[in-house]
Amino acid sequence: MILKAQHISKKYSNRLVVDNLSISIEEGQIVGLLGPNGAGKTTFFYIIAGILNSDSGKVFINEKEITNQKVAQRAQRGIAYLPQEPSIFRRLTVKENLMAALEQRKDLQSPERAKELMHLTEEFYLKPFLDTKALKLSGGERRRVEIARALASKPVFLLLDEPFAGIDPIAVSELKKTLSRLKERGIGVLISDHNVREAMNICDKVLIMNQGKNIAEGLPKDIKENDLVKEVYLGKDY
């Protein structure tokens, strides 16, 4: 499967924030949406996620248009969205958070839910925290629970808004390993983040935005050498 946004534009007060942008994410691919502050990447990301409507352009899963579908409808088609802000129930335990997500799965009976719960806790190293309330988790632990919750719905694509924000270097390293495992599972991942070094290191492909436009797109190793990207975003010493 492939998730595509084609020729997306968005204006705010006559200012073109997203200017005829296109992007595609395939299964098993990690794609980075990067750029300086004010580039328009958050608006573009929100349009792909279904949080904002575009003024023009279309969004597809394969050839099925989902342009006018909201976040919940896109979730039914296999798109999971994780915001930068904490999205788990802080006063529930890790187990309760995961079960709340698994109970939305109408295809699972109780024994199957329990089995899936164990699978998720083992895959994301959450077993020691099952009875821990979410408010007591570190930033990295919380992120793992959020991703495990998202995977409970069996998504094909995962959209991560600022996944490296607010977590320490050890947690960043753990999160990168988690993203690699998602890729191995065949899940397509779109990342929008300000941590350019970490995003560049984990992504298969990156798109660099500036002033609403696509100024460069391709392999991270090629983007790092792009003179325009260095001038407006990375700096000469990157």
- 12-21 — which CB contacts under 8 Å span 24+ positions? 16/212, 17/43, 17/212, 18/43, 18/44, 18/47, 18/54, 18/212, 19/211, 19/212, 19/213, 20/57, 20/213, 21/57, 21/209, 21/212, 21/213, 21/214
Q: How confident is the model at residue 209 (pLDDT cuts 50, 70, 90)?
A: very high
Q: How confident is the model at residue 85 (pLDDT cuts 50, 70, 90)?
A: confident
Q: Which of 57-71, 162-176, 204-218 has the lowest mean pLDDT?
A: 162-176
Sign of CA dihedral 185, 70, 42, 221: positive
Q: Are 230 and 236 in contact (CB under 8 A)?
A: yes
Q: How confident is the model at residue 149 (pLDDT cuts 50, 70, 90)?
A: very high
pLDDT for residue 194:
85
Cβ neighbour number for residue 225 with a 10 Å cutoff? 10
Answer whether residue 86 shows pLDDT above 80: no
Distance CA 207, CA 104 (A): 34
Q: How confident is the model at residue 186 (pLDDT cuts 50, 70, 90)?
A: very high
Answer whether residue 181 shows pLDDT above 80: yes
pLDDT for residue 171:
84
- Ranges of each domain in the chain: 2-78+155-234, 86-142
Over residues 47-70, the pLDDT tens digits come to 999 999 999 999 999 999 999 999
Supply the DSSP symbol for 130: T
* pTM for this predicted structure: 0.88
Q: Which residues contact 214 (CB under 8 A, 6 or more apart)?
A: 21, 22, 207, 208
DSSP calls for 25-78: EETT-EEEEE-STTSSHHHHHHHHHTSS--SEEEEEETTEE-TT--HHHHHHTT
Classify domain 2-78+155-234 at the CATH topology level: Rossmann fold (3.40.50)
Report which of 72, 75, 67, 77 is spatially closest to residue 7, judged by C-alpha positions: 67
CA 120 centroid distance within chain: 18
| Mean predicted lDDT score pLDDT of the chain | 92
Distance CA 32, CA 190 (A): 6
Distance CA 202, CA 221 (A): 11
Answer whether residue 21 shows pLDDT above 80: yes
The pair phi, psi for residue 137, each rounded to 5°, is -80, 150
Q: Are 34 and 209 in contact (CB under 8 A)?
A: yes
Q: How confident is the model at residue 102 (pLDDT cuts 50, 70, 90)?
A: very high
